Structure 1
């Protein structure tokens, strides 16, 4: 079995067939043809000016509230460096993105994981933590199609988090790279768009809507916060990648971004449906909530040792990410399955192999 070509449910990235390479070639030509000086120069730490302006217009904020970075992980790191010192309390979802946990722990933060439900973080538990006297510097929230769970934060919970952030004076970090990738249901407004107290810093990325290799992300937040982060960015790299940002600017302004998002949405809906159908057929005892967008599904396999399953799955030519990787504790019966980079046929075969691996544990 190990000789089979492996099928990986591991990486949250789109496959090449749903990336608009033709549009990127044209955007690249336009970037160098229309602004060769700006595209090839160092630039400044706040990012490529035309793209910064476009992002500000999309969010309805002054351009001073926007900073464009080398991917959203860079944006996250800058924000944490600006706001979080060793010993500072930080609220995170449980489970949450593993790199977030790693970054915060490396900074010496006092991490407070709060259980994640199908409609988002347990806001009652957040409020109880605040009422107990904990004063976090920030709460990290992935509101749409959360990585790793695929869950979406409900409108009432968004409103409550905004109120708590205003009342207790912490930053609500809305980490939202999947916002545009909704293929079912009604789009919810961002917390940034509803913020009246300057509590929200918003991050997003073009990695999920243009292509991962473009490495362009951004932050939107209070002007004084963005100005502070700009100083960190200046000492870190003088300026981010102007070539990538100029290409993204042309891609967005040409209308190609909207077409790309439509393509990605259609493909991901099909892939999610294939995953659900295969799980229903092959692993009927599996527990999950099918996402309405994004790249990931959190799957619980009651009674299965995921550590043992990982070894068996490798023997059957399939890979996943262990649920425990996204938690400080727990998740020992859960996996994250990323369906974004696989065809429907590969997903079906991958789940068939995964089910065979599960059965082999009882053999």
Structure 2
């Protein structure tokens, strides 16, 4: 099957038609014209300094509290290596991002999964876990338009989570690459911005992958200066510096105003795709359940126990539609769920993609 025939709901990446290629081209030219040395030299492990300052200003922190990396997944890895050792307890959401889950398991961490509700992590279940004697070093939280579930952590639950972190002494890792892709509702305060009042420690990560384009591979951490200085030493030994040209290009893209335009374009396009996907799923697959996301890239769908989603994913591939099975995101579970990424599928192709998926579900049920 050719790439043109395949309809992929598998990867959370924007399709080319909503990437501002012209804006990126102009930003790259400006980066070379305005700062040829900075854009082409090695730089330092903290990242391209003008972009570091732009991110710091955006979060209301000193630049020393920002480290720019080659994508946010690398930021995750740096943080895990700095804070965690084999055997340490870590809290994650259930379901959670499969690569984060794999990274924690590979490091020998004791992973404790806490269920998600439509308004985010079940803080009562988390408190019960803590009261049982579990003492995590870290809680990994995706607060906005969670991957894979698409849900958003409510303000009340943000306060409760911060209170628990302060009471039991664990760090919250606020992994937030989707925050800018909002379809409806008001912008919610970040956990980082609320941490001081609660007396909690929060380290925040985000990325330009979802708002600019995946190819730039620019992410970042915001957190305590001493922790980031330690990570910077590790980064220096690993690669001297991240990609300065990519970061200089992103900086020019941001300061020109093209970043805000790109966010608006991507958000509008994905809102329409999410709406159509939800309507088609409801119309074509009886009994399917999901929570419509308020933003982001993903829809988590659940079937009854008569549908083995692992088998559906395999049959769907034969029908020319790619999905990700729910069992990738839950250890020992998720066998009746799938994650659908609507970001790379145009509105014209979504109905056909759902039709193929519906045929696959029927085949498995049959």
Name the TM tier (shorter chain).
over 0.9
The corresponding residue for 1:174 is 174
Residues 257-282 of structure 1 show CA distances to partners (whole Å, capped at 9, x for unaligned) of: 00000000110011001101111110
In the TM superposition, what is the alpha-carbon distance from 1:226 to its structure 2 partner? 1.1
CA distance in 1, matches of 2:177, 2:286: 31
Aligned pairs, how many? 363
Aligned counterparts, 1:185-334, within 5 A: 185-196=185-196, 197=199, 199-302=201-304, 303-334=306-337
Residues 181-207 of structure 1 show CA distances to partners (whole Å, capped at 9, x for unaligned) of: 001112111010111135000000000
| Aligned CA distance change for structure 1 residues 27 and 284 (closer, same or farther; 3 Å) | same
The corresponding residue for 1:80 is 80
Unaligned ranges ≥5, structure 2: none
SS of residue paired to 1:174: strand
Return the TM-score normalized by structure 1.
0.98
In the TM superposition, what is the alpha-carbon distance from 1:76 to its structure 2 partner? 0.2
In the TM superposition, what is the alpha-carbon distance from 1:340 to its structure 2 partner? 0.2
Contact 2:20 2:212 in 1 (8 A): yes
In the TM superposition, what is the alpha-carbon distance from 1:347 to its structure 2 partner? 1.1
CA distance in 2, matches of 1:356, 1:214: 37
In the TM superposition, what is the alpha-carbon distance from 1:136 to its structure 2 partner? 0.7
In the TM superposition, what is the alpha-carbon distance from 1:309 to its structure 2 partner? 1.4
Contact 1:45 1:238 in 2 (8 A): yes
SS of residue paired to 1:116: strand
SS of residue paired to 1:204: strand
| Aligned CA distance change for structure 1 residues 183 and 4 (closer, same or farther; 3 Å) | closer
Unaligned ranges ≥5, structure 1: none
| Aligned CA distance change for structure 1 residues 238 and 284 (closer, same or farther; 3 Å) | same
Residues 152-198 of structure 1 show CA distances to partners (whole Å, capped at 9, x for unaligned) of: 00111100111111111111000000010001112111010111135
CA distance in 1, matches of 2:265, 2:112: 38
Contact 1:233 1:239 in 2 (8 A): yes
In the TM superposition, what is the alpha-carbon distance from 1:315 to its structure 2 partner? 2.3
CA distance in 1, matches of 2:299, 2:270: 12
CA distance in 2, matches of 1:310, 1:317: 11
CA distance in 2, matches of 1:101, 1:283: 30
1:40 and 2:43 are equivalent in the alignment: no
In the TM superposition, what is the alpha-carbon distance from 1:2 to its structure 2 partner? 10
